[in-house]
Amino acid sequence: MAEAKKLFIKTYGCQMNVYDSERMVEAMGAEGYVTTDSVEEADMVLLNTCHIREKASEKLYSDLGRLRPFKEAKPDLKIGVAGCVAQAEGDEIMRRMPLVDLVVGPQSYHRLPEMNRKMQAGGKVVDTEFPPEDKFAHLPERKALRGPVAFLTVQEGCDKFCAFCVVPYTRGAEVSRAAARLLAEARGLVEKGVREITLLGQNVNAYHGTGEDGDWGLARLVRELARIDGLERIRYTTSHPNDMEDDLIAAHGDEGKLMPYLHLPVQSGSDRILRAMNRKHGRDQYFRLVERIRAARPDILLSSDFIVGFPGETDADFADTLDLIRAVGFGQSYSFKYSARPGTPAAEKPAVAAGIADERLQELQALLLAQQRAAQTAMVGREVGVLYEKAGRMAGQMVGKSDHLHAVHVVDPDARAGDLVRVRITESGPNSLGGVRL
């Protein structure tokens, strides 16, 4: 029997890329590949890229440069670039990096087996089209699971066209998967031991997939998923404030399997900057939305995204952002200094001075960190559910996530990954909580 070929895959960026990488592994498994953690052992290297973070292209080219010695030592090594940077810069990647054999966009990776056969025959492949077929219908059964939690992509693409964002250009228009396929995939995951599923989408709450009795929104999908025996927890990310419909808000209050955590990016607290960003919502609308969500689920933990130094941002605009953060109170958040993305409207506007943007980011992150630690401290003494995901560093210790997505460490020698237990929180550390099993 021939020795299996080995695939090394590196994933950049968001949870959707993690999901996509798992599906790529499964697709290449059909070609006889198994994964390896060693580039030296690999017969194929795939870099699954993200275009959201700062200097995404530069990081890719730097990593490709590091692969050159491996290609020289092993000429048959195949190197591929996937994901959003591949979609945006396919031909340029091939021009700048002749060592690359494959460039594939995020909508075409179901074709990897066919592309691999072309590469093995000595050809180079670039596929950054938006194919008409449903890629998920052509992918093999889910196998690459990482324990009792799993991601499930339900929606892709974006129609919002925020002025700073490349997603509409790299992922395409909003498309929702059929409900029956999602329910079937979820049941398959549960049969393999998954107890928590996070629903993914660029604008996941814009989900409107075909169901047995018409289009389903995300709330209907959540409620139907909750009926699956053995599926104990449901989460979703990432949301847009304009797509938080009434029934979804209600689901947070009356669907017990929907966890009390919501990532709801606002980006800025300034109405003027929100208009410049083309966010199509204002700060007061966001405040009212938060009030309605908390009325439905008072213990919900909110997180958000913030961009500082957006073109035209003044001290007053930045002060409005700090004011919004203080008014809402976030359990955790992600913050970034604005970085221009070629081809987006904001990229043509004059940038805020780098020094000013750096100072604002430090001030904003200090405030967000203080809120995060306050939220964690407030958990001490409370009882929460914890789904164990893996063993901890200490003997007998287990690590898992609470209902509110906090990492929790518990000494529980007889437990195993996949156990869902009640825990009393006893301490709060910089990035995690400690507790005792009840």
In whole angstroms, give the CA distance from residue 390 to residue 147: 8
Q: Any known ligand binding at 358?
A: no
Q: Any known ligand binding at 165?
A: yes
In whole angstroms, give the CA distance from residue 280 to residue 274: 7
User: Whole-prediction pTM value?
Assistant: 0.87
Would you state the structure tokens that stand for residue 89, as one six-digit string?
């810069």
Mean pLDDT by 10 residues, the chain (438 residues): 82 83 87 91 91 73 92 92 85 90 86 88 83 68 77 93 89 91 95 96 95 94 98 97 97 98 98 98 98 98 98 98 98 93 90 96 98 97 97 94 98 96 96 96
Per DSSP, 3 falls in state: P
Within the chain, all domains assigned CATH 3.80.30.20 are found at 136-379
Q: Any known ligand binding at 158?
A: yes
Choose which CATH entry (3.20.20.140, 3.30.2130.10, 2.40.50.140, 2.70.150.10) describes domain 383-437: 2.40.50.140
Task: Give pLDDT, residue 110.
Answer: 84
Q: Any known ligand binding at 413?
A: no
Choose which CATH entry (3.40.50.12160, 3.40.1190.20, 3.20.20.60, 3.40.640.10) describes domain 5-127: 3.40.50.12160
Q: What is the 3-class SS of 148-213, one letter each residue?
A: CEEEEECEECCCCCCCCCCHHHHCCCCEECCHHHHHHHHHHHHHCCCCEEEEECCCHHHCEEEECC
If one counts every other C-beta atom within 10 angstroms of the C-beta of residue 103, the result is 26
Task: Give pLDDT, residue 144.
Answer: 54
Task: Give pLDDT, residue 308.
Answer: 97
Q: Any known ligand binding at 17?
A: no
Within the chain, all domains assigned CATH 3.40.50.12160 are found at 5-127
Task: Give pLDDT, residue 131.
Answer: 66
Within the chain, all domains assigned CATH 2.40.50.140 are found at 383-437
Q: Any known ligand binding at 194?
A: no
Task: Give pLDDT, residue 1.
Answer: 47
In whole angstroms, give the CA distance from residue 36 to residue 40: 9
| Yes or no: domain 136-379 corresponds to CATH 3.90.1150.10 | no
User: Which one-letter amino acid corresponds to residue 162?
Assistant: C
In whole angstroms, give the CA distance from residue 402 to residue 164: 33
User: Which one-letter amino acid corresponds to residue 207?
Assistant: Y
